[in-house]
């Protein structure tokens, strides 16, 4: 008899922990007692993978126009963080800073207006 009972070894299902008997040569190949357990396990490990993706770090640029330093944040903070440091955050709250931003916005607006006029002229020429 090539395969007697003593030829089998016992392993634990990686998902439910149930003991399963396998031939020694299948050791390492068989990890689950059933397909259901295998899929449950794979599904969970996928979820973990996705969750750890969310822990990835992102590089943002400080919104402080005087700073513009890049800084690293975790995914969950991406939408909340705008400044690289508290200092930049406080600077952004000062009147002086707001005035400067407005000034720059005005300049940009004017530049955009000029661009728009130019492109309008172009269109008219066509």
Residues binding Zn ion (CB under 5 A): 13, 15-16, 18, 33, 37, 62, 64, 67, 69, 84, 88
Residue 65 CB partners (closer than 8 Å, separation 6+): 97, 100, 101, 104
CB of 35 to Zn ion, least distance (A): 10
Residue the block writes with tokens 């040569």? 25
CB closer to Zn ion out of 55 and 80: 80
3-state secondary structure of 117: helix
CB closer to Zn ion out of 12 and 120: 12
CB closer to Zn ion out of 26 and 115: 26
CB of 90 to Zn ion, least distance (A): 11
CB of 118 to Zn ion, least distance (A): 34
CB of 117 to Zn ion, least distance (A): 35
Main-chain dihedrals φ then ψ at residue 78, nearest 5 degrees = -55, -40
Q: Which two tokens stand for residue 70?
A: 């890049």
What is the C-alpha R_g of the chain?
31
């Amino acid at each position: 008899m090539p395969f007697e009972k003593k030829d089998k070894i016992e392993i634990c299902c990686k998902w439910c922990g149930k003991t399963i008997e396998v031939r020694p040569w299948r050791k390492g190949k068989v990890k689950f007692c059933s397909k259901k357990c295998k899929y449950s396990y794979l599904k969970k490990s996928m979820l973990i993978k996705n969750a750890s993706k969310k822990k990835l770090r992102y590089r943002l640029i400080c919104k402080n126009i005087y700073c513009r330093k890049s800084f690293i944040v975790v995914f969950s903070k991406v939408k909340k963080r705008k400044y690289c440091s508290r200092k930049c955050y406080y600077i952004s709250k000062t009147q002086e800073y707001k005035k400067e931003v407005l000034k720059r916005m005005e300049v940009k607006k004017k530049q955009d207006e000029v661009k728009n006029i130019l492109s309008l002229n172009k269109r008219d020429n066509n």
